[in-house]
């Protein structure tokens, strides 16, 4: 299974999932250690999930993967689901630990960030 981790610094799990351009890509199996396959950087000319807000058709490099992040809004969680992406929001900051826990089925998870009354995320400025 392919597992993507939002990681703006390619070291730790970070947030701002909708606008994220950097991901660690792991290959995980039930039999053995997950393997870090790629440091994926989405170019400025390619759309982020935020750019694809109303577009479920344009492909994204993370489509059909498991995605781990420390933050994502309610609306983004719904849109990712429509793209076949299984989202895990967690307070775990170590990518390899989080990937292992997803495979084992015991990653502690958090709820998506709720929207404000105007429809924006609570943490948007």
Contacts 24+ apart (CB under 8 A), 24-29: 24/95, 25/65, 26/2, 26/95, 26/96, 26/99, 27/1, 27/2, 27/3, 28/1, 28/2, 28/3, 28/99, 28/100, 28/102, 28/103, 29/1, 29/103
32 conformational bin, left if phi > 0, alpha if psi -120 to 50, beta if neither:
left
Nearest alpha carbon to residue 13 among 124, 110, 105, 114: 110
Q: For residue range 11-29, list pLDDT tens digits in order.
A: 999 999 999 999 999 999 8
Q: For residue range 44-72, list pLDDT tens digits in order.
A: 999 999 999 889 899 999 999 999 999 99
Backbone angles phi, psi at 98, to 5 degrees: -65, -45
pLDDT value at 105 more than 60:
yes
| 2-11: burial string, b at 16+ Cβ within 10 Å, e else | ebbbbbeeee
Q: Distance (Å, rounded) from C-alpha 49 to C-alpha 80?
A: 8
Q: What are the structural domain ranges in the chain?
A: 2-104
Class of domain 2-104: alpha beta
**Which pLDDT belongs to residue 122?**
59
């Amino acid at each position: 299974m392919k597992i993507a981790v939002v990681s703006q610094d390619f070291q730790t799990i970070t947030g701002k999932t909708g606008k994220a351009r950097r991901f660690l890509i792991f290959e995980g199996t039930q039999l053995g250690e997950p393997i870090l396959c790629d440091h994926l950087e989405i170019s400025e000319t390619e759309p982020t999930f935020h750019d694809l807000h109303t577009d479920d058709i344009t492909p994204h490099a993370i489509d059909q993967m498991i995605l781990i992040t420390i933050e994502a809004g309610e609306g983004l969680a719904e849109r990712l689901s429509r793209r076949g992406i299984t989202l895990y929001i967690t307070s775990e900051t170590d990518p390899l630990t989080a990937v292992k826990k997803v495979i084992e089925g015991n990653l502690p998870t958090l709820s998506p960030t709720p929207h404000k009354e105007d429809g924006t995320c609570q943490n948007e400025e």
